[in-house]
Amino acid sequence: MGPAVHALGLSLVLFAIGSLAVLLRRDVAARLIGLAVMGQAAALAFAAFDLLPGALSVAEAAQESAAAPQSGSGQVFAFFAFALLAAELAIGWALVVAALRRAAAGERASMARSRS
């Protein structure tokens, strides 16, 4: 078996770890880290599929251009996966900051109420 199969196995393991973290952990930070791991697993799978000789692409396209498979398109999709992951993490951590700020404000308000 070639390197693509090893990479796909690693991608599966990473995706399983990330999805288990997202589904089972209760911390928001751990869930975001799990999402990051899942995104990296997806990018690795795209790069690994790029190594396969067109076996998992559309059958007609493979028949028409078996000699020149679309080498590199998997890496383009991995690039897109990285960019989407960055956007998703930016929003996620901004939500965490906003929630922390809101919790701190609520705590301050309850302390002020208890003093008065």
Partner 1 sequence: MSAPFAVFDFLALLVALGALAAVVQRDPVRAVLALLATSSGLAGCFVLLGAEALAALQWLISGASMSVLLLFALLSPAGGVAGLRERDSARLARATAALALLAGLVLALFRVLPVLPASHAAAESAGTQRALGSALLSGFGLPLQLLGLLLLAAVLAALLLVRERGRG
- Positions touching partner 1 (CB under 8 A) are 1-10, 12-21, 23-30, 33-34, 36-37, 40, 43-44, 47-48, 50-53, 55, 71-73, 75-76, 78-80, 82-91, 93-101, 103
Comparison of 20 and 61: residue with beta carbon closer to partner 1: 20
In the bound complex, what is the minimum distance in angstroms from residue 62's beta carbon to partner 1? 11
Q: How far apart are CA 116 and CA 104, in angstroms?
A: 19
Q: How far apart are CA 66 and CA 57, in angstroms?
A: 11
Comparison of 61 and 76: residue with beta carbon closer to partner 1: 76
The owner of tokens 């396209």 is 61
In the bound complex, what is the minimum distance in angstroms from residue 16's beta carbon to partner 1? 5
- Chain centroid to Cα 41, Å, comes to 6
In the bound complex, what is the minimum distance in angstroms from residue 102's beta carbon to partner 1? 10
Comparison of 16 and 111: residue with beta carbon closer to partner 1: 16
Q: How far apart are CA 44 and CA 80, in angstroms?
A: 12
In the bound complex, what is the minimum distance in angstroms from residue 29's beta carbon to partner 1? 4
Comparison of 76 and 109: residue with beta carbon closer to partner 1: 76
Eight-class DSSP state of 25: -
Would you say how long the chain is, in residues? 116
Q: How far apart are CA 63 and CA 74, in angstroms?
A: 19
